[in-house]
Amino acid sequence: MFCNCFGALNCFGRRDDPADQPHEQVVATKKFTYNSLRSATNDFHPSSKIGGGGYGVVHKGVLRDGTHVAIKSLSVESKQGAREFMTEIDLISNIRHPNLVELIGCCIEGSKSKYVALDWPKRAAICRGTASGLLFLHEEAQPNIVHRDIKASNILLDGNFNPKIGDFGLAKLFPDNVTHVSTRVAGTVGYLAPEYALLGQLTKKADIYSFGILMLEIISGKSSSIAAFDEDYLVLVEWAWKLKEENRLLDLVDSELSEYDESEVYRFLVVALFCTQSASQHRPSMKQVLEMLSREVHLNEKALTEPGIYKWQSTGKRGGSLNETSSQAIKHRKTENPHEAASAHFSGSDIVTEMLPR
């Protein structure tokens, strides 16, 4: 049974042959017994489940010393569970940041969330905290890390609603001399950047696209994984762009939000659209994103271009289509030097035209 335990809603699984169990690779990591994790989660009771995905389920729990934790268990169906498990252990065992989950330990043995209303200050703080965590991964962690699966269920909240980025099973390392990697596509429908989904070209800008989608979900209270908007059944980012073009972007705001600063919410929505632009080189860096979310700035909306959208076929088979803008962006990138395209930056001065007094 493979389990990893994360602190402060901060994370069990598939049985493998003993030879496949990576005991020696995690000697420095604290070990938990399976029974201690069962006790912490009331025998993995359904009411303690707070998330899940292709590699397993996450339960909330409380250890005997009172520490609140999230316990991630690998699923029986996970063909690559052991490898992904070890990837996560290796990546996060030595990194520390206020907006990243902290690995407490793991378990290698064989054998429902409560709804909480979030006001605008809490939602804004979740956006900024997540941006801060991503900035650390992209620019301060050594080597740099691209998460590859930024989504709502991978952002855990502690008792004070501080966000913690979790689940590093898909993460990729980016040494200083690497601008992009070509890799198999992995991630979650609704959050995939088009250039990554179609071409397998991974850069930090794929995380930034996913973060933009996440911001739209946080502000709207809607899901990005279903096409349910307008008579044309648009996905969330398409709907946001349509509302922007019709000068009614604030219509996207969650109806549960009764009081909020309209100018600040509008700024957050525009930043989300900057993050989801079709051409990856037009998206801001996480440093620029955090700056735009932390200060009152006037954004140059004339520099904003249409978002990229990758849609999977509804037949259940993997496939996809792009809107026209996305197709043009990817075609253009194929003609560029991939190293130059991947490392191109959209200058902050192109986006921010004026700093406003706080």
> Could you tell me the CATH number of the domain that includes residue 80?
3.30.200.20
Same domain, 187 and 82: no
Could you tell me if residue 349 is inside a domain? Answer: yes
Q: Which residues pair with 298 in a beta bridge?
A: 354
Confidence of residue 327 (pLDDT cuts 50, 70, 90): low
Same domain, 247 and 322: yes
Could you tell me if residue 148 is inside a domain? Answer: yes
pLDDT at 30: 75
Confidence of residue 271 (pLDDT cuts 50, 70, 90): very high
Rounded CA separation 75/85 (Å): 11
Amino acid at 141: A
Rounded CA separation 241/65 (Å): 48
Question: Among 108, 139, 169, where does a domain finish?
Answer: 108
* pLDDT surpassing 70 at residue 286: yes
* pLDDT surpassing 60 at residue 211: yes
| CA dihedral sign, ordered 33, 35, 36, 37 | positive
* pLDDT surpassing 60 at residue 50: yes
For every residue of 276-319, DSSP letters joined together read: TBSSGGGSPPHHHHHHHHHS-EEE-GGG--PBP-EE--TTSSS-
Same domain, 170 and 199: yes
Rounded CA separation 326/247 (Å): 23
Distance of CA 290 to the CA centre of its chain: 15
Could you tell me if residue 11 is inside a domain? Answer: yes
Q: Whole-number mean pLDDT of the chain? A: 78
Question: Among 72, 88, 108, where does a domain finish?
Answer: 108
Which pTM value belongs to this model?
0.65
> In total, how many domains does the chain have?
2
* More confidently predicted of 175 and 316: 175
Same domain, 78 and 162: no
* pLDDT surpassing 90 at residue 151: yes
Rounded CA separation 3/179 (Å): 33
Same domain, 185 and 309: yes
DSSP 148: S
Pick the catalytic residue: 16, 17, 119, 149?
Answer: 149
Could you tell me if residue 191 is inside a domain? Answer: yes
Rounded CA separation 5/67 (Å): 11
* More confidently predicted of 174 and 21: 174
Per the CB < 8 A criterion, the answer to whether 158 and 68 are in contact is yes
Same domain, 55 and 186: no
Could you tell me if residue 115 is inside a domain? Answer: no
Length of the chain in terms of residues written:
358
pLDDT digits (tens, 9 = 90+) for 133-142: 999 999 999 8
Provide the residue range defining the domain that includes 47. Answer: 2-108
Same domain, 93 and 133: no
* More confidently predicted of 19 and 324: 324
Confidence of residue 283 (pLDDT cuts 50, 70, 90): very high
Rounded CA separation 32/109 (Å): 9
Confidence of residue 4 (pLDDT cuts 50, 70, 90): low
- Asked if the peptide bond before residue 22 counts as cis, ω within 30 degrees of 0, the response is no
User: Would you call 112 helix, strand, or coil by DSSP?
Assistant: coil
Same domain, 62 and 169: no
CA nearest to 84, candidates 124, 129, 53:
53
* pLDDT surpassing 90 at residue 163: yes
Could you tell me if residue 114 is inside a domain? Answer: no
What radius of gyration, in Å, describes the C-alpha atoms of the chain?
A: 20
Burial 334-352 (b: 16+ CB within 10 A, else e): eeeeeeebbebebeeeebb
Per the CB < 8 A criterion, the answer to whether 99 and 164 are in contact is yes
Name the H helices within 221-313.
236-245, 262-275, 286-294
Q: Kindly state the tokens that stand for 83.
A: 């490898």
Domain of 317, CATH number, reads 1.10.510.10
pLDDT at 25: 46
pLDDT at 75: 62
CA nearest to 12, candidates 91, 107, 135, 94:
107
Other CB atoms within a 10 A radius of the CB of residue 219 amount to 24
Could you tell me if residue 278 is inside a domain? Answer: yes
Residue 192: exposed, middle, or buried by beta-carbon count in 10 A (0-12, 13-18, 19+)?
buried
Is-catalytic flag, 158?
Answer: no
> Can you count the helices (H) and strands (E) in the chain?
11, 16
* More confidently predicted of 8 and 96: 96
* pLDDT surpassing 90 at residue 172: no
pLDDT at 220: 96
* pLDDT surpassing 90 at residue 108: no
pLDDT at 358: 41
Same domain, 301 and 166: yes
Confidence of residue 107 (pLDDT cuts 50, 70, 90): confident
Question: Among 71, 86, 108, where does a domain finish?
Answer: 108
Other CB atoms within a 10 A radius of the CB of residue 322 amount to 19
Same domain, 11 and 157: no
Same domain, 219 and 190: yes
Same domain, 143 and 35: no
* More confidently predicted of 139 and 159: 139
* pLDDT surpassing 90 at residue 198: no
